[in-house]
Amino acid sequence: MTAQQLKNAILQEAIQGRLVPQDPNDEPASVLLDRIRKEKQQLVKEGKLKKKDLEEKQISEDEIPFEIPESWEWCKLGWIGSWGAGATPAKGNSEFYDNGTIPWLRTGELNNGYVYDSEIKVTEKALEKCSLRMCQKGDVLIAMYGATIGKVAIAGIELTTNQACCACTPYIIYNKYLLYYLLVCKKTFTEMGEGGAQPNISREKIIAFPFALPPLAEQKRIVEKIEELMPKVEEYGKAQEKLNKLNEELPEKLKKSILQEAIEGRLVPQDPNDEPASALLQRIRAEKERLVKEGKLKKKDLIETPIAEDEIPFEIPESWRWERLGELVSNQTGLSYSKGDLEKRVNSPIRVLRGGNIQNGSWCTKVDDVMIAPEYIKKPNLTLQKNTFITPAVTSLEHLGKTALIEEDHSDIVAGGFVLYLLPFYRNDIFSKYLLYYFQSAYYNTYCQSIANKSGQAFWNLSRQKLMNLVLPIPPLAEQHRIVEKLEQVLGEIDKLKK
């Protein structure tokens, strides 16, 4: 149950007579109603009310929404107070506004509590010449129009209102009880106002609305209990917000923690029978040497930069090795094109992915993707090939480092010029999946942000040279298999938490 639901439940219990016990010594509500009638009769004699204000149309059974205690009475809102709406003095008449001192309240300023001021003030002349109702301190206010229908407040000072606000000067009734009663009924008032171009309820609808009247002493006990409970509900709400935030953040924090355990060699046990990581790195080296012989790499690409001790961020198992990213993958940017290149229409165009297509660990197509004729794809290795990685090279700070793995060939898709391709020298599904999980780690994300340069107001450039200098922890291939298997299992369970 949310704090708002708890608050609603408490208020509903209050107006149904279930929040505080009844006291047989209380003056019953029937007697209170008689006293209200006598007060209204006196006001008629004094000329402050009209005789028609004494009329009471009885409540039918189908108007009664719930049962109430025996000491309570059903009546109508019009019986227990003098209700009237305000007005808006002519906006063009400066005599009504200039140097005004009388608060003129609009419904947007109702706050479900006490109001002590208003943004706009009107003059005595406006009060004299316009149909303004001067509300007394303690009057209960309710909004009748538009999105604010059902908002309420108590006037903490003398003030007047616009025509969208209806004010009640209660007869003997405790104004705070009336305020809470109206709060409970807000949804009903809103539903009553639906149907027109601008939703609204009228004064006539308000005064005909059923009202559950408790004994006056009980009204005060109800308000006292509500005001005792509401601060606790507020505390509950704040605690709930913190818990909700924790629950929202927990899956991502768990994922980051588990990925860090994985890349530090603490997620699965090492097996002394595994071929060490050095053997995998030798195979990668041999593949690079083959590519040099075939003219696909240059001899300088075989030169390895030693890794200094201060570059190593954490300890890894003995069977693991540190290696620079540039020794494991080649890199290239995606397709560069001009706006004119996009004008040619062909039956089988090539889709161009941009940074926005890349999520953390995956990629997607979009309805607004750029499409280009195949003849403009002149650079080799641009169509997406299995076990290739793509990552934004120019993007917003929060998207830096987001990397996707291409898991099958796509001859009709390329990435754009602001996307970087990472092409592993060793094409192996397990090795690629291990690298993908590494690219999702908080360590990798932080590193990418640390090597980026700001470009303009909102974009950052990822330094390719510094990215290739990144040192990675490489486990034995067999252990990579166990790590990937464990991560797929554990992260799958974490994904269930998000749902």
User: Do 215 and 319 fall within a single domain?
Assistant: no
Comparing 184-198, 256-270, 464-478, which segment has the lowest mean pLDDT? 184-198
Q: Are 354 and 418 in contact (CB under 8 A)?
A: yes
User: Do 300 and 231 fall within a single domain?
Assistant: no
C-alpha span between 198 and 152 (Å, rounded): 19
The parent domain of residue 426 ranges over: 265-498
Q: Are 86 and 167 in contact (CB under 8 A)?
A: yes
For 343, the token pair is 């004008």
Instruction: Please report whether residue 439 resides in a domain.
Output: yes
Instruction: Please report whether residue 147 resides in a domain.
Output: yes
- Calculate mean pLDDT across residues 236-256: 89
- Calculate mean pLDDT across residues 37-62: 88
Angle in degrees, CA 383, 356, 463, rounded to 5: 80
Domain boundary among the residues 185, 216, 235 is at 235
Percent of the chain residues topping a pLDDT of 70 = 99
Domain boundary among the residues 220, 235, 250 is at 235
Instruction: Please report whether residue 246 resides in a domain.
Output: no
User: Do 328 and 439 fall within a single domain?
Assistant: yes
User: Do 63 and 199 fall within a single domain?
Assistant: yes
Which residues are within 8 A (CB) of 404 and not within 5 positions of it... i.e. 6 or more apart? 358, 359, 361, 362, 363, 389, 390, 391
Helix axes 429-439, 477-498, angle to 10 degrees: 50
Query: Which of 352, 335, 431 is CA-nearest to residue 388?
Result: 431
User: Do 222 and 310 fall within a single domain?
Assistant: no
pLDDT digits (tens, 9 = 90+) for 144-188: 988 889 999 999 999 999 999 999 999 999 999 999 999 999 999
How many Cα atoms within 13 Å fall on the side-chain side of residue 91? Answer: 1
pLDDT at 231: 93
User: Do 228 and 272 fall within a single domain?
Assistant: no
Residue 196's pLDDT band, with cuts at 50, 70 and 90, is low
User: Do 388 and 274 fall within a single domain?
Assistant: yes
For 243, the token pair is 């818990």
pLDDT digits (tens, 9 = 90+) for 375-418: 999 887 899 999 999 999 999 888 899 999 999 999 999 999 99
Per-residue HEC secondary structure of the chain comes to CCHHHHHHHHHHHHHCCCCCCCCCCCCCHHHHHHHHHHHHHHHHHCCCCCHHHHCCCCCCHHHCCCCCCCCCEEEEHHHCEEEEECCCCCCCCHHHCCCCCEEEECHHHCCCCEECCCCEEECHHHHHHCCCCCECCCCEEEECEHHHCCCEEEECCCEEECCCEEEEEECCCCHHHHHHHHHHCHHHHHHHHCCCCCCECCHHHHHCCEEEECCHHHHHHHHHHHHHHHHHHHHHHHHHHHHHHHHHHHHHHHHHHHHHHHHCCCCCCCCCCCCCHHHHHHHHHHHHHHHHHCCCCCHHHHCCCCCCHHHCCCCCCCCCEEEEHHHHEEEEECECCCHHHHHCCCCCCEEEECHHHECCECECCCCCCEEECHHHCCCCCCCECCCEEEEECEECHHHCCCCEEECCCECCEEEECCEEEEEECCCCHHHHHHHHHHHCCHHHHHHHHHCEEEECCCEEEECHHHHHCCEEEECCHHHHHHHHHHHHHHHHHHHHHHC
Q: Are 140 and 175 in contact (CB under 8 A)?
A: yes
Comparing 120-134, 313-327, 430-444, 477-491, which segment has the lowest mean pLDDT? 120-134
Instruction: Please report whether residue 244 resides in a domain.
Output: no
Residue whose tokens read 């149950």? 1
Burial 234-272, CB ≥16 within 10 A → b, else e: eebeeeeeeeeeeeeeebeeebeebbebbbbbebbebee
Q: Are 445 and 374 in contact (CB under 8 A)?
A: no
pLDDT at 293: 93
Domain CATH number, residue 403: 3.90.220.20
Residue 195's pLDDT band, with cuts at 50, 70 and 90, is low
User: Do 210 and 64 fall within a single domain?
Assistant: yes
For 493, the token pair is 């369970």
pLDDT digits (tens, 9 = 90+) for 67-90: 999 999 999 999 999 999 999 999
Mean pLDDT of the chain: 92
Whole-prediction pTM value?
0.65
- Calculate mean pLDDT across residues 273-289: 95
Q: How far apart are the first and last CA of the chain?
A: 19
User: Do 230 and 281 fall within a single domain?
Assistant: no
User: Do 157 and 281 fall within a single domain?
Assistant: no
Burial 175-184, CB ≥16 within 10 A → b, else e: bbbbbbbbbb
Instruction: Please report whether residue 130 resides in a domain.
Output: yes
pLDDT digits (tens, 9 = 90+) for 118-136: 999 999 999 988 889 999 9
How many Cα atoms within 13 Å fall on the side-chain side of residue 258? Answer: 19
Q: Are 415 and 334 in contact (CB under 8 A)?
A: yes
More confident residue, 243 or 217: 217
Instruction: Please report whether residue 252 resides in a domain.
Output: no
Q: Is the pLDDT of residue 481 over 90?
A: yes
pLDDT at 50: 86
User: Do 209 and 319 fall within a single domain?
Assistant: no
pLDDT at 197: 65
Q: Is the pLDDT of residue 232 over 90?
A: yes
- Structurally, the chain folds into a number of domains equal to 2
Residue 499's pLDDT band, with cuts at 50, 70 and 90, is low
User: Do 415 and 319 fall within a single domain?
Assistant: yes
Instruction: Please report whether residue 328 resides in a domain.
Output: yes
Instruction: Please report whether residue 13 resides in a domain.
Output: yes
